[in-house]
Amino acid sequence: MTASHWIGTEGPDFIQRPAHRLWLLDQAQELFKLFLATLNPAGGFHALDTEGRPVEDGRRQLHETTRLVHCYAMAHQLGIPGADRMIDHGMAYLWNGHRDASHGGYLWGLDNDDPTNGTKQAYGHAFVLLAASSAKVVGHPDADRLLADVTEVLMTRFWEAEAGATSEEYARDWQPLSGYRGQNSNMHLTEALMAAFEATGDLSYLGMAERIADLIINRHARAAGWRVPEHFDADWRVDRDYEGDPMFRPAGTTPGHALEWSRLLVQLWQLGGQQLGWLHEAAEALFLTTVQTAWDGERGGFYYTLDWNDRPARADRFWWPCCEGIAAASVLGQMGGDARFEEWYRRIWGFSASHLIDRRHGGWFPELDPELRPVNRVFQGKPDLYHAVQACLIPLVPANGSVTRGLRDGALRLID
């Protein structure tokens, strides 16, 4: 092992150190400050270019609008000025822009007030539920109507009770577009269902989350040696040959999703009173398998995708798998007993701080090539606040729930 790979493990865990906790909060505050520039007075939010400037083309997608509402709900709880305006703006645009008053549900893409993509995607609706739940936690007056509306749409249009998961995609008038079933949308729905449970106390949300996790992870990922299959047919049989959109449906396995599931399973285990022991087992197995197969031991970072023989398929390094690895290592480390999670927490943050955080323009570089040079092949500009800010905030709250819940309950402590 070369000196560049060395990580010190002496002393208390990083998460226990006041200076590290202050550093995390500072990183989160800088991200919130950067993304204030996304607010579009015409409605919704702009994208940011590589220098952090708003791209004024009017185009926006449902998952972008909803994620910003969710993130600024966290900013509101931290007491960051300007967060309330971002939440109000996003909530209004979800209801008056993305919501399809004619057919129900929420439109995927808009250009100012006109649909550019009228499809109804399970992925996007999962984030509507997350935004509504986070808005309810902070007491937004329109949260209940959004939560009720999207819950009805999910239950009547997407949820397949026999399978214990959702269908995927429809035309604007709800005609099915394909028999494709995907784990990515169901993973994010699991996150959103837990948020809805935390916001409302309604156990039906938690039960749905447990059913999805059982199907995707306990059944399919366990059978695949703790690799998370991404793509399925209408009968939930794994389709190993499927290749779709490189952003949302790449071929092979996506290690970042296994890390994301690892974090979510710990939360689900805790919210369910630690009754389902397999959740904790699976969370550890997913994490340890992924860091073994997907981390580049020479240069660092997680390969974006692997083939089914664990060989790099897309060798570029994206920012969000590192964010999810940080979050997963932090919550698993809080469970105690295994020093490997602290080692990986330090290692992933070390790589991210050295290569992914943009010290000049703010935010994170979304992609690095195999030589660790910033590129824009799949993502453009500064595409996301959600992953990076959660990597900064998740370590600061207890692992028994979401960041939103931890901040709501006053659990954030910088100095003990």
CATH of the domain at 361: 1.50.10.10
Write down the mean pLDDT value for the chain: 95
In a domain, 416, yes or no: no
Q: What is the pLDDT of residues 34-60, one digit of tens each?
A: 999 999 998 999 999 999 999 988 788
Catalytic annotation present for 387: yes
In a domain, 414, yes or no: no
- Domain total in the chain: 1
The band of 416, judged by pLDDT with boundaries at 50, 70 and 90, is: low
pLDDT of 86: 98
Range of the domain at 242: 14-408
In a domain, 8, yes or no: no
Q: What is the pLDDT of residues 63-116, one digit of tens each?
A: 999 999 999 999 999 999 999 999 999 999 999 999 999 999 999 999 877 899
In a domain, 313, yes or no: yes
Smallest CA-to-CA distance from 382 within 45, 23, 24 is with 45
Backbone angles phi, psi at 316, to 5 degrees: -65, 155
In a domain, 218, yes or no: yes
The band of 331, judged by pLDDT with boundaries at 50, 70 and 90, is: very high
The band of 3, judged by pLDDT with boundaries at 50, 70 and 90, is: very low
In a domain, 9, yes or no: no
**Catalytic site residue from 89, 188, 257, 355:** 257
In a domain, 5, yes or no: no
**Catalytic site residue from 20, 63, 231, 387:** 387
Is residue 1 predicted with pLDDT exceeding 60?
no
